[in-house]
Amino acid sequence: MGRVMGLDVGTKTIGIAISDPDQRLASPIQTLSRRSVRIDTARLQALADERGIAAVVVGMPFELDGSEGRSARLARQVGEALGELTGLPIRYVDERYSSVEAERQLIAVDMSRRRRRQVIDQAAAVLILQSYLDYPEIADGV
């Protein structure tokens, strides 16, 4: 089967999560500070190679009306560049509200505001990836 990597692509950071080899559970890995699409995808490729990644799931932060705004275009740009660089299958899932839900969950476990800022993107990547692992049919319906 192989592991799946989930990405929460933002303008300043990329939250990263990966699945277990059986593709049942998503776990947070790290948050990358954004540099450029070329540099970011090279860093993601190295991580994918190191972790034995078989596919990548990219969250698409659509606008409330379902259109692709600037953030969604950036996420697609990173996904497409990563797919070209690695040859891995790239799947896209609607991730509206993932950061809001991640924040809610981190507050519920009484995490400090400072610590939440450090891990929010990873937590959102976990939610994106876990939704794909639980319901793979949702991918690419975007």
State the CATH number of the domain containing residue 77: 3.30.420.140
CA dist 69 and 42 (Å) reads: 25
CA dist 125 and 30 (Å) reads: 10
The confidence score (pLDDT) of residue 97 equals 61
State both tokens at 31. Answer: 């948050």
Report, as ranges of residue numbers, the positions in the chain whose pLDDT lies below 50.
142
Q: What is the DSSP string of 121-136?
A: HHHHHHHHHHHHHH-G
Question: Please, what is the angle between helix 113-134 and helix 98-108, to 10°?
Answer: 120
Alpha helices in the chain (DSSP H): 37-51, 70-86, 98-108, 113-134
CA dist 133 and 118 (Å) reads: 24
Q: What is the helix (H) or strand (E) element at residue 17, kind and residue range?
A: strand 13-19
CA dist 21 and 19 (Å) reads: 6
pTM across the whole model: 0.85
Domain boundaries, position 84: 3-138
The confidence score (pLDDT) of residue 64 equals 79
CA dist 101 and 81 (Å) reads: 28
The confidence score (pLDDT) of residue 103 equals 65
The confidence score (pLDDT) of residue 78 equals 96
Total structural domains within the chain: 1
CA dist 26 and 123 (Å) reads: 10
